[in-house]
């Protein structure tokens, strides 16, 4: 005959682990109902040898939830007032949890939806203005060239050299303006792929928490499971782009190492199809992943200074076109020399950079080792 073992265990309830009836009474919450239904309460009473209560609870199990709960209140001598207070405390906890869930990300989504509307409205007037600007620049260039060729002055006139110098300066300024305009246009064309949304580019070292932040913005969760992904509303649209030059060569021309890299890239692309960023992945492929959500395009760069750091034009294109660069650093190793150099470089390019410190919730192993070392010495 099998012997039933009644191993003692504490009942997690109302934020504590109850060892006796009094602790349950003082921390009584609706959790008790679930414990009664799934058999945990019966096991707990049996393990504590509380025979009378055990019999009473077993007799209640046929009842519906309301009757069962009020019966459990009687068994545990919980007064209706106490009952009310615990219900209120539980409600407050639920409100707080809901608040945490809704506020920052929901606010961001609302702001982004609004932003998309503003982008669309602004776009309507941009094309004609660009054409007007282009016409004015061509007209100016033509006038300068006519003026420089027809000054009407004799070659030995002392003003001839002054006019030539001035024209040279004007021509140089014009060339610079034209270069600025065409760079701006290239950015605009590049940006058109993103539906003119707010472009956020996340960079930082490998394991700095970049992908987790991206997933949080996309789904409200750092590493969402399938059900969170399927239920997401609005739905982020994930994409992946190869930036390694090798990725464009025909397979027959690739070396074994390049082929391997290409295979990894395909795996990475697969991850993009998973509709989230891979968290904790050791990035070894040069690819850029991102998602579009409402008025936002979010780009997750592979870690900077990683072995296959992207130096391609595409990565640079994203950086140039980005409205905001989030520079992520782990709180265990913030502000390393290379991080600061990278940030200084971005700031010099006139980019708006915000630093995000991740893993603030964690005690680093190094800190713990240091503490132990101090204790020992």
3-state secondary structure 310-324: CCCHHHHHHHHHCCE
Cβ burial 260-290 (10 Å sphere, 16+ → b, else e): ebbebbeebbebbeebbbbeebebbbbbbbb
| Listed ranges 21-29, 131-139, 211-219, 345-353: which one lies at the site for Mg ion (CB under 5 A) | 211-219
Minimum distance, C-beta of residue 326 to ligand GDP, in the bound complex (Å) = 11
Residue closer to ligand GDP by CB (options 207, 262) is 207
Is-contact 28 85, C-beta < 8 A?
no
Tell me the closest approach of the beta carbon of residue 195 to Mg ion, in angstroms: 24
Is 268 a binder of Mg ion (CB under 5 A)?
Answer: no
The option from ligand GDP, Mg ion, none interacting with 361 (CB < 5 to 8 A, set by class) reads ligand GDP
- Report the residue number, 36 or 353, with the smaller CB distance to ligand GDP: 353
Question: HSE on the CB side for 138, CA within 13 Å?
Answer: 6
In contact, 228 and 274? CB cutoff 8 Å? no
Nearer to Mg ion, 306 or 331 (CB): 306
Bridge partners for 289 per DSSP: 240, 300
211 part of the interface to Mg ion, by CB under 5 A: yes
Closer CB to ligand GDP, residue 62 or residue 361?
361
User: CA 242 to CA 266: how far, in whole Å?
Assistant: 9
- Of 109, 118, 39, 27, nearest to 76 by C-alpha is 27
DSSP state of 17: E
Q: How far is the CB of 281 from ligand GDP (least distance, A)?
A: 6
Decide whether 236 or 303 has the Cβ nearer to ligand GDP: 303
Residues in the site for ligand GDP, rule: CB under 6 A?
204, 206-212, 223, 279-281, 303, 358-359, 361-362
- State in angstroms the smallest separation of the CB of 283 from Mg ion: 6
| Contact residues for Mg ion, defined by CB under 5 A | 210-211
């Amino acid at each position: 005959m099998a012997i039933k073992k009644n191993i003692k265990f504490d009942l997690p309830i109302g934020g504590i682990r109850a060892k006796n009836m009094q602790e349950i009474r003082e921390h009584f919450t609706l959790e008790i109902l679930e414990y009664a239904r799934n058999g945990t309460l019966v096991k707990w009473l049996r393990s504590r040898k509380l025979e009378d209560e055990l019999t009473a609870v077993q007799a209640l199990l046929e009842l519906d939830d309301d009757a069962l709960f009020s019966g459990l209140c009687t068994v545990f001598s919980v007064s209706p007032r106490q009952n009310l207070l615990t219900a209120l405390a539980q409600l407050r906890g639920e409100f707080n949890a809901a608040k945490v869930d809704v506020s920052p990300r929901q606010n961001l989504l609302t702001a982004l939806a609004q932003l998309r509307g503003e982008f669309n409205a602004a776009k309507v007037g941009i094309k004609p203005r660009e054409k007007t600007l282009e016409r004015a620049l061509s007209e100016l260039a033509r006038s300068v060239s006519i003026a420089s060729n027809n000054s009407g002055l004799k070659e030995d006139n002392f003003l001839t050299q002054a006019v030539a110098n001035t024209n040279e300066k004007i021509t140089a300024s014009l060339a610079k303006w034209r270069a600025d305009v065409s760079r701006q246009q290239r950015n605009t064309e590049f940006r058109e792929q993103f539906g003119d949304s707010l472009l956020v580019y996340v960079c930082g070292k490998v394991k700095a928490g970049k992908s987790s932040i991206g997933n949080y913005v996309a789904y409200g969760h750092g590493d969402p499971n399938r059900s969170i992904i399927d239920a997401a509303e609005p739905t982020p649209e994930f994409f992946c782009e190869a930036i390694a030059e090798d990725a464009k060569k025909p397979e027959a021309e690739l070396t074994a190492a390049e082929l391997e890299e290409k295979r990894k890239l395909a795996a990475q692309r697969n991850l993009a199809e998973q509709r989230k960023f891979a968290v904790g992945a050791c990035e070894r492929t040069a690819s850029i992943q991102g998602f579009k959500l409402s008025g936002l395009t979010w780009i997750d760069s592979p870690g900077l200074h990683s072995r296959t750091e992207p130096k391609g034009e595409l990565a640079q294109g994203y950086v140039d076109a980005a409205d905001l660069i989030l520079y992520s650093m782990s709180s265990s190793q913030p502000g390393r020399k290379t991080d600061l150099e990278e940030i200084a470089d971005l700031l010099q390019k006139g980019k708006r950079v915000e630093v995000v410190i991740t893993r603030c919730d964690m005690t680093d192993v190094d800190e713990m080792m240091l503490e132990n070392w101090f204790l020992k010495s």
